[in-house]
């Protein structure tokens, strides 16, 4: 089949949905690959690296997508990008499905598949783009927090005196949170972490951090079958907030990662809590794109609250474009065989549970019940 890779046009998006490594493997599998010129430049993949790998270069999105069976993108196309998509083409990207306006896709009968809806099952682990990108986000959140903090992270004993290690508090111990813990520990910080899922306690301890949570009966049942955190009761949230408030005043860097798919991010750090923190402290709100875990955070801004810096980064993987692109491209490469027929053509007529979970729109209709209104 013909696979087209388009340049990302969304502000701040530096990633690309293919790399020379994955292009080489796609071509070796019998597919043809067309890359829009400049698609990988910001991520460190110049046009000639793609052509050397066997791809054809096209001058613009329309030329790249012409005749395509499937289009790879990092993010869902915005209004101005829809014109480039051929009618009936298959599109796979991070579609932001819970906020998706499916009408433009259905108008062109686009068969869209969302990488966010990859099921959390063993067979799909190599395709799990949320995990691959969250891993990098967790790492980068600590690097950004350390840079804003502006002081040393590890303890340093010098002839001029001792520098105390930074205290880092990770709120939310999913994929991003675990990587944030590991990174902060590697940098020498004293790390504590919290989560509403009981399984997180052991994971936190295994990384050398201390677990902080209200461990009552509700806490013991606070995880969905898919491994996500459940929405907690107001009573539990109040108890956890009280514990958090007393702990957060002593912290130098707080990183919040809590997200619930399809819902606004829960508030974990209130304005009152921020005001109890020491001047020079930092909050990195990784959930800012869904409303934020701190109501003071603003997307892609650093807000100063009495000397406390509240940083909201809406696209942390884009701050590591080469690695983020590499992992995302490999996620796509792992998924492609599920929609490839024996003769190498595109085949969406399958009852494979991974494909059906990811398919959003097809033949002019919204087919995924999770986004049907």
**Catalytic site positions:** 120, 125, 128, 131, 228
Say how many C-beta atoms besides its own lie within 10 A of residue 5's C-beta. Answer: 31
Residue identified by tokens 């995924």 is 368
């Amino acid at each position: 089949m013909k696979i087209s890779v388009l340049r990302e046009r969304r502000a701040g998006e530096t990633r690309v949905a293919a790399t020379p490594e994955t292009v080489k493997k796609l071509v070796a599998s019998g597919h043809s690959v067309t890359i829009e010129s400049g698609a990988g430049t910001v991520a460190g993949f110049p046009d000639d690296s793609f052509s050397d790998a066997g791809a054809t270069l096209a001058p613009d999105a329309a030329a790249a997508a012409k005749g395509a069976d499937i289009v790879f993108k990092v993010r869902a196309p915005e209004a101005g990008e829809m014109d480039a998509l051929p009618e009936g083409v298959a599109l796979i990207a991070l579609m932001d499905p819970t906020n998706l306006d499916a009408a433009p896709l259905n108008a062109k009968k686009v068969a869209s598949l969302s990488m966010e809806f990859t099921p959390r099952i063993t067979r799909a682990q190599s395709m799990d783009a949320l995990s691959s990108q969250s891993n990098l986000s967790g790492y980068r959140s600590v690097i950004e927090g350390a840079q804003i903090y502006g002081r040393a992270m590890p303890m340093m004993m010098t002839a001029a005196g001792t520098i105390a290690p930074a205290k880092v508090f990770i709120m939310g111990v999913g994929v991003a949170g675990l990587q944030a813990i590991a990174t902060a520990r590697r940098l020498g910080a004293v790390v504590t972490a919290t989560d509403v899922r009981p399984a997180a306690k052991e994971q936190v301890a295994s990384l050398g951090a201390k677990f902080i949570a209200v461990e009552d009966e509700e806490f013991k049942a606070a995880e969905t079958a898919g491994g996500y955190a459940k929405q907690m009761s107001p009573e539990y949230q109040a108890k956890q907030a009280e514990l958090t408030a007393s702990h957060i005043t002593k912290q130098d860097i707080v990183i919040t990662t809590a997200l619930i798919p399809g819902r606004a991010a829960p508030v974990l750090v209130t304005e009152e809590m921020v005001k109890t923190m020491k001047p020079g402290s930092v909050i990195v709100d990784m959930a800012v794109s869904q409303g934020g875990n701190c109501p003071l955070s603003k997307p892609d801004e650093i807000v100063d609250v009495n000397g406390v810096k509240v940083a909201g980064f809406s696209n942390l993987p884009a701050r590591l474009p080469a690695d983020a692109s590499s992992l995302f491209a490999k996620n796509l490469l792992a998924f492609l065989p599920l929609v490839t027929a024996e003769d190498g053509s595109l085949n969406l007529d399958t009852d494979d549970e991974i494909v059906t979970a990811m398919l959003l729109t097809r033949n002019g209709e919204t087919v995924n019940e999770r986004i049907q209104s």
